[in-house]
């Protein structure tokens, strides 16, 4: 069946996204990687809905909605951070500690 | 309305000896009202002077005719409430005189507290003893209030002074009129508080405020004894009211451990309040207060509370020969000890202070040998002549102070070495103080002769009773009491000679400003002088009345006070008669009452005359030229170093122990443990906070690792 292969694809995309969040320093790239993770989950939902029923596909719409809202808020934050620091390198954003 | 009260109260006694329910309570209430009024004025006065200080100056009292109302009103309120209280007391006294009361009248106003079986009513007890005390407290108190008007008039704290003085009288009346030990204790503590407030009246002087603290703390030791005795009484009788306690007291084992413990603890309390060995040390220091305070609190009333307590508990003391003997022994040792210290004092008030301690010792001896009426008799005459002596010394100090004030000299106005020859300037003070001196020295026919002689006679009579305990002890007490009486005659005469006779040593310019006290001050002196002469005549012993002492029966009464107090002391005398038998009619070494009365008064007179002859011719050195006394005289001048001894043995160890508890136990161990816990929490928090780097990648990494760990745990 296609389910296994699709789940492999989903896992691969998720792991790539995770590593991207962990190792990259550019906020935009990290943001893209988070989107990648979300979409990896979406792929898994769609693949599994073939087995478990339509619920997974319905859930995907919710995830996409949340992802769209998150993208709007997240990009706005990144823009205002950029205006402040003239950079989007997260190593520079470490005031919130201790 | 007042006349209605008087008519109702003073008319012929209602059958059954019932008293107006409200009038006796009014006696207590009036000084309290006076306190509230004067206290309010004092607060207003304080605000005004605080405003003046804030504006950069001082409250101007102006001259004597243009003073603020807060300063002039207490003049009328303070002595006014006392005059009313005295009048009401007099009315009740006359009523009791007519009623021939045999049982105490207890008037209960409300239940003060009721916890389980322990019930205390706010009740006053009217009987012959409390009536005598009320007469002394309100009568002598009134005279001293009047004197205070003259003495304190120019003091900035004048309204506060009268507020405290009225409050004192209120508590003193609670003490003598309370119908239970609990109420007596309320008064007992209250007078202690007022004593503290008035000793430290000029509290900006460190030494004076320390003296107040000393009086308060030493009295705490005595209060402990009073409390423990009350606990014993409550455990035994289930109540602290006088009537039931004394009614059932004879169920106690005669001379048993319990009654002895109760009496000894009461003795501790009485020794604290009445300045007896070993707790007398606060009274001489209490002279730091204004002189009328010394007269009212530290001579006439408060310090006699211990004698009142023993007389009130006469049944208990009669049941305990050990307790009674302890009272008499403590009394006579104090009488001698304080009298010897008084020999070498140069401060006029210190002489009188030690004299008071000594005379209180005599009262203790009186109530300790079962002569409760004699003890109260001496209490009364002592209130007259000692208040007079203190007020007289106040007049002297007042004159000395003003003389020094005129020339801005800073010598000690209380040091007798600065006085001398004052009789020319102050004839009324001179005469009245001589009357008091002759009275205290025990010269016939002054008041002190009758009371002191009565006590000394009763020692011998008690010691010679058929089955008296420790007869040798009582012979010893009798000898010491006689010796101390001679010392009294000497040191009092010495004081008079140094103050009023010989050359004036105040200074050439100053002596011109010495003057007699104003009328508001000398009139109380004169009244007290009359009482010091005739006060003793109310209790002339029967054996003496027909002999020469009573002028062959000319003196009016025969043991009037003795018979008057009989309803109160009867029970104790019956106990004594049952267990000790008839008292002796001869002194320890033979001789009857009249003979020994003659011997003692002649001896005292000889001492007085000899002292005038010897000291009158001797020049007194001024303080600057006076060499330090040597040998035993130096020991006496330093009061046997008792204060130093107490300081070394009690005060310093307590300070060291407190410092140990403070510095080591509290500040190091307890605070250290608390701080250690705090430091640990803080350190751990600091360590863990290091993980919070602020770097998003680190957080993400930790999050991922955490998820993996949880997932891994759930899978495997």
B695 and chain A in contact, CB less than 8 A: yes
Contact (CB<8Å) A21/B692: no
Position B294 pLDDT exceeds 80: yes
Q: What is residue B550's predicted lDDT score, i.e. its pLDDT?
A: 61
Q: Quick: pLDDT tens for B644-660.
A: 999 999 999 999 999 99
CATH fold of the domain at A3-91: Helix Hairpins (1.10.287)
Q: What is residue B268's predicted lDDT score, i.e. its pLDDT?
A: 95
Q: How far is Cα B595 from Cα B549, in angstroms, rounded to an integer? A: 10
> Are the C-beta atoms of B351 and B491 separated by less than 8 Å?
yes
Adjacent-strand bridge partners of B107? B124
Position B637 pLDDT exceeds 70: yes
Q: Quick: pLDDT tens for B484-506.
A: 999 999 999 999 999 999 888 88
Q: Quick: pLDDT tens for B261-279.
A: 999 999 999 999 999 988 9
Q: How far is Cα B232 from Cα B370, in angstroms, rounded to an integer? A: 23
B204 and chain A in contact, CB less than 8 A: no
| Average pLDDT of the residues in B425-450 | 92
Position B515 pLDDT exceeds 90: no
> Are the C-beta atoms of B446 and B420 separated by less than 8 Å?
no
What is the value of ipTM here, to two decimals?
A: 0.85
Q: What is residue B328's predicted lDDT score, i.e. its pLDDT?
A: 95
A30 and chain B in contact, CB less than 8 A: yes
Q: What is residue B15's predicted lDDT score, i.e. its pLDDT?
A: 37
Task: Look up residue B55 and give its two tokens.
Answer: 């504006």
| Average pLDDT of the residues in B31-38 | 95
Task: Look up residue B139 and give its two tokens.
Answer: 């009568």
Predicted structure pTM score = 0.82
Position B1 pLDDT exceeds 60: no
Average pLDDT over all residues of chain B: 89
B689 and chain A in contact, CB less than 8 A: yes
Domain map of chain A by residue range?
3-91
Give percent of chain B with pLDDT exceeding 90.
61
| Average pLDDT of the residues in B310-327 | 94
Q: What is residue B12's predicted lDDT score, i.e. its pLDDT?
A: 41
Q: What is residue A75's predicted lDDT score, i.e. its pLDDT?
A: 93
Tell me the three-class secondary structure of B660-698, residue by residue.
Answer: HHHHHHHHHHHHHHHHHHHHHHHHHHHHHHCCCCCCHHH
Q: Quick: pLDDT tens for B80-119.
A: 999 999 999 999 999 888 887 888 999 999 899 888 888 9
Contact (CB<8Å) A22/B704: yes
Adjacent-strand bridge partners of B119? B114
Contact (CB<8Å) A98/B692: yes
Q: What is residue B494's predicted lDDT score, i.e. its pLDDT?
A: 94
Contact (CB<8Å) B697/A25: yes
Q: How confident is the model at residue B13 (pLDDT cuts 50, 70, 90)?
A: very low
Q: How confident is the model at residue B508 (pLDDT cuts 50, 70, 90)?
A: confident
Orientation of helix B372-407 relative to helix B348-368, angle to 10°:
170
Q: Quick: pLDDT tens for B388-415.
A: 999 999 999 999 988 888 888 888 889 9
B700 and chain A in contact, CB less than 8 A: yes
Q: How confident is the model at residue B168 (pLDDT cuts 50, 70, 90)?
A: very high
Give percent of chain B with pLDDT exceeding 70.
95
Q: What is residue B526's predicted lDDT score, i.e. its pLDDT?
A: 95
Residue scoring higher pLDDT (B553 or B95): B95
| Average pLDDT of the residues in B700-711 | 92
Position B662 pLDDT exceeds 60: yes
Q: What is residue B556's predicted lDDT score, i.e. its pLDDT?
A: 65
Position B8 pLDDT exceeds 70: no
| Average pLDDT of the residues in A5-12 | 93
> Are the C-beta atoms of B529 and B88 separated by less than 8 Å?
no
Q: Quick: pLDDT tens for B174-192.
A: 999 999 999 999 999 999 9
Which residues in chain A are closer than 8 Å to B700, comparing Cβ atoms? 21-22
In eight-state DSSP terms, residue B492 is H
Which are the contacts of B317, defined by CB distance < 8 A and separation ≥ 6?
A: B263, B266, B310, B323, B324, B327, B367, B368, B370, B572
Position B527 pLDDT exceeds 90: yes
Chains A and B: how many Cβ contacts under 8 Å?
29
Q: Is residue B404 within a helix (H) or strand (E), and if so which, with residue range? A: helix B372-407
Contact (CB<8Å) B689/A98: yes
Residue of A nearest to B687 (CA): A98
Position B9 pLDDT exceeds 80: no
Instruction: Measure in Å the smallest separation between the Cα of A6 and chain B Cα atoms.
Output: 22
Q: Which of A97, A98, A76, A78 is nearest to A89 (CA)?
A: A78
Q: How confident is the model at residue A1 (pLDDT cuts 50, 70, 90)?
A: low
Q: Which of B111, B301, B286 is nearest to B188 (CA)?
A: B301
Task: Look up residue A74 and give its two tokens.
Answer: 């997240």
């Amino acid at each position: 069946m296609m389910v296994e292969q699709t789940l492999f694809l989903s896992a691969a995309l998720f792991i790539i996204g995770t590593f991207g969040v962990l190792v990259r320093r550019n906020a935009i790239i990290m943001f893209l990687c988070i989107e990648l993770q979300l979409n990896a989950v979406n792929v898994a939902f769609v693949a599994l809905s073939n087995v478990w029923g339509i619920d997974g596909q319905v859930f995907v719409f919710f995830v996409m909605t949340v992802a769209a809202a998150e993208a709007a808020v997240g990009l706005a934050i990144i823009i205002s951070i950029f205006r402040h620091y003239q950079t989007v390198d997260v190593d520079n954003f470490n005031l919130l500690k201790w | 309305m007042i006349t209605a009260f008087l008519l109702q109260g003073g008319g012929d006694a209602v059958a059954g000896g019932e008293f107006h329910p409200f009038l006796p309570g009014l006696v207590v209430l009036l000084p309290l009202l006076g306190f509230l009024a004067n206290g309010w004025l004092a607060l207003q006065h304080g605000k005004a002077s605080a405003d003046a200080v804030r504006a950069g100056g001082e409250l101007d009292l102006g001259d004597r005719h243009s003073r603020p109302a807060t300063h002039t009103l207490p003049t009328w309120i303070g002595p006014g409430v006392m005059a009313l209280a005295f009048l009401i007391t007099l009315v009740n006294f006359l009523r009791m005189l007519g009623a021939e009361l045999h049982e105490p009248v207890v008037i209960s106003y409300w239940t003060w507290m009721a916890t389980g079986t322990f019930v205390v009513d706010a009740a006053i007890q009217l009987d012959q003893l409390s009536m005598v005390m009320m007469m002394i407290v309100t009568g002598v108190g009134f005279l001293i209030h009047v004197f205070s008007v003259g003495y304190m008039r120019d003091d900035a704290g004048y309204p506060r002074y009268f507020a405290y003085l009225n409050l004192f009288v209120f508590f003193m009346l609670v003490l003598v009129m309370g119908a239970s030990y609990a109420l007596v204790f309320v008064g007992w503590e209250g007078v202690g508080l007022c004593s503290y407030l008035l000793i430290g009246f000029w509290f900006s002087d460190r030494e004076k405020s320390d003296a107040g603290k000393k009086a308060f703390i030493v009295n705490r030791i005595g209060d402990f004894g009073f409390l423990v005795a009350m606990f014993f009484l409550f455990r035994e009788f289930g109540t602290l009211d006088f009537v039931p306690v004394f009614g059932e007291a004879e169920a106690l084992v005669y001379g048993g451990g319990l009654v002895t413990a109760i009496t000894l603890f009461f003795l501790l309390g009485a020794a604290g309040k009445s300045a007896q060995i070993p707790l007398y040390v606060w009274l001489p220091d209490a002279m730091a207060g204004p002189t009328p305070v010394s007269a009212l609190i530290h001579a006439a009333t408060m310090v006699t509370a211990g004698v009142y307590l023993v007389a009130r508990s006469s049944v208990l003391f009669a049941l305990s020969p050990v307790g009674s003997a302890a009272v008499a022994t403590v009394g006579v040792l104090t009488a001698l000890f304080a009298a010897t210290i008084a020999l070498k004092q140069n401060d006029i008030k210190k002489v009188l202070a030690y004299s008071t301690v000594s005379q209180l010792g005599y009262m203790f001896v009186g109530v300790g040998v079962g002569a409760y009426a004699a003890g109260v008799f001496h209490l009364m005459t002592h209130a007259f002549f000692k208040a007079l002596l203190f007020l007289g010394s106040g007049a002297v100090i007042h004159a000395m102070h003003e003389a020094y004030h005129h020339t801005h000299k800073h010598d000690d106005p209380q040091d007798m070495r600065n006085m001398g020859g004052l009789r020319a300037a102050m004839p009324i003070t001179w005469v009245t103080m001589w009357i008091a001196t002759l009275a205290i020295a025990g010269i016939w026919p002054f008041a002190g002769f009758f009371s002191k002689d009565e006590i000394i006679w009763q020692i011998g009579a008690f010691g010679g009773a058929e089955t008296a305990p420790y007869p040798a002890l009582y012979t010893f007490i009798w000898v010491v009491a006689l010796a101390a009486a001679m010392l009294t005659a000497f040191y009092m005469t010495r004081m008079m000679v140094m103050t009023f006779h010989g050359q004036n040593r105040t200074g050439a310019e100053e002596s011109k400003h010495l003057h007699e006290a104003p009328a508001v001050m000398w009139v109380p002196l004169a009244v007290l002088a009359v009482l010091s002469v005739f006060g003793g005549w109310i209790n002339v012993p029967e054996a003496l009345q027909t002999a020469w002492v009573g002028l062959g029966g000319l003196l009016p009464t025969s043991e009037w006070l003795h018979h008057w107090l009989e309803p109160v002391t009867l029970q104790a005398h019956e106990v004594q008669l049952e267990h000790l038998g008839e008292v002796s009619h001869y002194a320890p070494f033979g001789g009857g009452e009249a003979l020994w009365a003659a011997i003692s008064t002649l001896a005292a007179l000889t001492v007085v005359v000899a002292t005038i002859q010897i000291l009158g011719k001797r020049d007194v050195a001024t303080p600057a030229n006076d060499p330090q006394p040597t040998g035993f005289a130096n020991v006496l001048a330093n009061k046997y170093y008792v204060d130093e001894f107490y300081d070394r043995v009690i005060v310093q160890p307590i300070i060291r122990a407190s410092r140990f508890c403070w510095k080591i136990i509290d500040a190091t161990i307890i605070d250290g443990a608390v701080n250690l816990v705090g430091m640990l929490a803080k350190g751990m928090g600091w360590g863990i906070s290091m993980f919070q780097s602020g770097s998003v990648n680190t957080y993400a990494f930790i999050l991922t690792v955490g998820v993996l760990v949880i997932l891994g745990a759930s899978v495997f």
